[in-house]
Structure 1
Amino acid sequence: MDASPFRSHWSLDPEVTFLNHGSFGACPTRVLEEQSRLRARMEAEPVRFLHREIEPLADAARAALGDFLDVNPDDLAFVNNATTGVNTVLRSLRFSPGDELLTTDHEYNASRNALDFAASQWGVKVVVAKLPWPVPSPQAVVDTVLAHVTLNTKLLLIDHISSQTALVMPVASLIRALRERGIETLVDGAHGPGQVPLSLHQLGAGYYTGNCHKWLCAPKGAAFLYVRRDLQPGIRPLVISHGYNSRRTDRSRFRLEFDWLGTNDPTPFLSIPKALEVMGGMLPGGWPEVMASNRAKALAARTFLCQRLKVAPRCPEDMVGSMATVPLPDGFPAEPSVLGLDPLQDRLLSEYRIEVPIVPWPRAPHRHVRISAQLYNSHAEYQRLAEALEALVR
């Protein structure tokens, strides 16, 4: 099988065709080496590292991330993952009886659970905008969501890129339209940073949380929460720690409360600058070329798979990033479990050594295959997937 020349930068199993970068990412070896160096430095003198050195190191990492995201780094807080960021905002906000929290039927299950929990705590209603499927255009998403807005709507929770369907949502248009109505937006950007160009300054969301371990290729456990400056007084970390009663005046209350939540391993987010450097240095055009190259590969793979499987794509090209979904024949209802896998996904791995998610959508037995496109992937791998699917779904 023709392998990508970039695969040597990762320590992926050479026996597995890995088409599932979107689930947990994959960290280049040079970034893992940087994390190991930082861990060795921490363990050589933990008190020096965690008391005397961590603050300037974290500031530098946040500055690098802020530059990449086009936002003031003081408006960013490091969290473990996007789910933590979503929970942080929802557990901080206050609601009143009669309020409505709006989301879509494409929202990631963990985040939807957090929304339902927050609603139950305050006795408010969750309103779900069911998006058309297939999706004819970004405007169709905007129109559907806005049709569910009422005078009681207080917040929209929406994926930047849907995990189940890989749709790139028109979040900028929705944020603008909702702010005109006095409604803030919480963007679950788990897949956004590094997959699509992103300027948090221009986006204008009240809240945006994103993973760095997926498309930025940082180590697992590196993510961020952005809170617009005017909304920061109302947001508290899930863990209240030393910053709550700090008398320091050289940092904002947001910084003081979020920067130290107790002893943990800070090396994932301290490795973000190296991840940005390594990934951005793999192509001559830097990050813009990396994202454009991955998107072109995802679109080509989607076209190829649709042709081989004789199905039509479910969304226009301008709603595709570095992932894409392709419909499959119906399967069987999945066995109940926390992270239940479709039997087809297990067979693809056990019989063909292909790791790719089979997503029940809109609900079992309907299903799709969701492909990811990273620099280490090659067209030959999507050809192999097509051959396996043709054999298994007959």
Structure 2
Amino acid sequence: MKSQFLLNPQITFLNHGSFGACPKPIFEEYQRFQLELENEPVQFIQKKSTVYLKEAKEFLAKYIGCSSDDFFFTPNPTVAVNTVLRSLELKEGDEILTTNHEYGAMDRTWNFFCEKSGAKCVRQNISLPIVSKEQILEEFWSGYTQKTKVIFISQISSATALIFPVKEICDKARELGLITIIDGAHVPGHIELNIQELNPDFYTGALHKWMLAPKGSSFLYVKKLFQKNIDPLVVSWGYESETPSESQFLDYHEYQGTRDISAFLCTPKVIDFLENNNWKEKSAQCRKLILENYEKFCDLLNSKPICPISAEFMGQMCSIPIQTDSPSELKELLFYKYRIEIPVFKTDKGIFLRISLNAYNSQKDLDILRSTLIEIKLTTDLLL
């Protein structure tokens, strides 16, 4: 599959999780839409884009398990979450229950809105190593109080690369009358997703990561109960529309005037590519590589797995605890000297080297990383 991607063949790319990678056929479709836009901008923006967008949404709706009327495209999950937060009527003393495994941009977003509203973000500690799903649920819900109004949690965490039991969390939150916001940035195209079965109030996912779409393609699902309460992040022609559709929710959020939505419109091509290339099988092969290699890398780096080595907690990513005084220097050395693209995360839970694989990877890539880490241990003091 490596020849299907635009990635530099001189680089060992072990960081699909950060921004994804787009295959050539999908990127060509992306450019085709951009050329059509530039050939006749007025007709494309005012007429054709509506038809193309409807088709793209119908394809995606079947793929993620919800109605096409209940979501709209966004450039990334951060924009999606900001849209939700600007419409939540949080007040002083209200609490948002989340974890200490969330994405840095989301932590900053909650800090900003809590400072404005006087609400409190409770980042519940989910301790490592993970022992069981029951442990996660017990530790998470120990942060619940009568002041809790909102649940915010990643279905797959970024730095620690863990799959969290969000179905069980959504079910209990619903019983308690809490609003649920799920950050599924790493989910579509990575693990199975059926939003209707999960039944959150809000769900955002990225298409440009594991679904292989061009950069800048994500979505925000909003349960019908909340659609009238979610204001547009940008007020534009959809507000007080001269030609309103049956959905004020979509009018407000979908029609933003002049912008390039080509990445959104590639969705049918994206899904066709995944289906025609047996992507579920390829994803399973990547998970197998992760499960087979994770403990070996932990042993090499004198650390322990942060979770049971199981598909219940691990997908196509794994995070290895490492000991280093210079995480940034280590990352730079790996890239500039050894041509390995891999992130090194510094968190309040420790420092992690995260491996994320897709179909263009093989055991050979992991062997290159292994031999490189051995050399770094022998020749530098970057790995303690």
What's the TM-score bracket when you normalise by the shorter of the two chains? over 0.9
Q: Give the deviation of 1:249 after TM superposition.
A: 5.2
Amino acid at match of 2:127: P
Residue 228 (structure 1) aligns with: 223
Residue 380 (structure 2) aligns with: none
> Which structure 1 segments of 5+ residues have no match?
1-5, 335-341
8 A Cα contact 1:101 1:119, kept in partner? no
Residue 309 (structure 1) aligned with residue 293 (structure 2): no
8 A Cα contact 2:344 2:352, kept in partner? yes
1:14 pairs with one of 5, 9, 16 = 9
TM-score by length of 1: 0.92
Residue 93 (structure 1) aligns with: 88
Residue 335 (structure 2) aligns with: 349
Report the Cα distance in structure 2 between the residues aligned to 1:129 and 1:235, rounded to whole angstroms. Answer: 27
1:321 pairs with one of 315, 321, 329 = 315
Greater mean alpha carbon deviation, residues 23-32 or residues 35-44: 35-44
Greater mean alpha carbon deviation, residues 291-300 or residues 157-166: 291-300
Q: Secondary structure at the match of 1:224?
A: strand
Percent sequence identity over aligned pairs:
37
Deviation string for 1:201-257 (max 9, x for gaps)? 000010011110000000001000000111111112210111111254542111111
Residue 257 (structure 2) aligns with: 262
Report the Cα distance in structure 1 between the residues aligned to 2:151 and 2:209, rounded to whole angstroms. Answer: 24
1:296 pairs with one of 288, 294, 304 = 288
Report the Cα distance in structure 2 between the residues aligned to 1:310 and 1:169, rounded to whole angstroms. Answer: 26
Deviation string for 1:295-335 (max 9, x for gaps)? 22222231332343343211122210111011212323x6x
Report the Cα distance in structure 2 between the residues aligned to 1:291 and 1:254, rounded to whole angstroms. Answer: 35
Amino acid at match of 1:352: Y
Q: Give the deviation of 1:189 after TM superposition.
A: 1.0
Taking the TM superposition and a 5 Å limit, the aligned residue runs for 1:118-267 are 118-246=113-241, 248=243, 250-267=245-262
Greater mean alpha carbon deviation, residues 272-281 or residues 294-303: 294-303
Q: Secondary structure at the match of 2:337?
A: helix
Amino acid at match of 1:367: I
8 A Cα contact 2:152 2:180, kept in partner? yes
Residue 384 (structure 1) aligns with: 368
Q: Which runs of 4+ in 1 moved over 4 A?
A: none
Report the Cα distance in structure 1 between the residues aligned to 2:128 and 2:306, rounded to whole angstroms. Answer: 7
8 A Cα contact 2:238 2:244, kept in partner? no
8 A Cα contact 1:197 1:288, kept in partner? no
Report the Cα distance in structure 2 between the residues aligned to 1:120 and 1:246, rounded to whole angstroms. Answer: 34
1:375 pairs with one of 352, 355, 359 = 359
Greater mean alpha carbon deviation, residues 311-320 or residues 344-353: 311-320
TM-score by length of 2: 0.95
8 A Cα contact 2:245 2:251, kept in partner? no
> Which structure 2 segments of 5+ residues have no match?
377-382
Residue 362 (structure 1) aligned with residue 354 (structure 2): no
8 A Cα contact 1:209 1:224, kept in partner? yes
Q: Secondary structure at the match of 2:123?
A: strand
Deviation string for 1:238-277 (max 9, x for gaps)? 1011111125454211111111112111100101111111
Deviation string for 1:2-34 (max 9, x for gaps)? xxxx10100111110000000000000000000
8 A Cα contact 1:166 1:324, kept in partner? yes
8 A Cα contact 2:102 2:153, kept in partner? yes
Q: Give the deviation of 1:160 after TM superposition.
A: 1.2
Residue 60 (structure 1) aligned with residue 60 (structure 2): no
Equivalenced residues, count: 376
Q: Secondary structure at the match of 1:92?
A: coil
Amino acid at match of 1:319: F
Q: Give the deviation of 1:64 after TM superposition.
A: 0.5
Residue 79 (structure 2) aligns with: 84
Report the Cα distance in structure 2 between the residues aligned to 1:201 and 1:162, rounded to whole angstroms. Answer: 21
8 A Cα contact 1:305 1:382, kept in partner? no
Report the Cα distance in structure 2 between the residues aligned to 1:368 and 1:388, rounded to whole angstroms. Answer: 17
Amino acid at match of 1:31: I
Amino acid at match of 2:362: S
Residue 36 (structure 1) aligns with: 31
Report the Cα distance in structure 1 between the residues aligned to 2:232 and 2:131, rounded to whole angstroms. Answer: 39
Report the Cα distance in structure 1 between the residues aligned to 2:319 and 2:170, rounded to whole angstroms. Answer: 25
Greater mean alpha carbon deviation, residues 305-314 or residues 179-188: 305-314
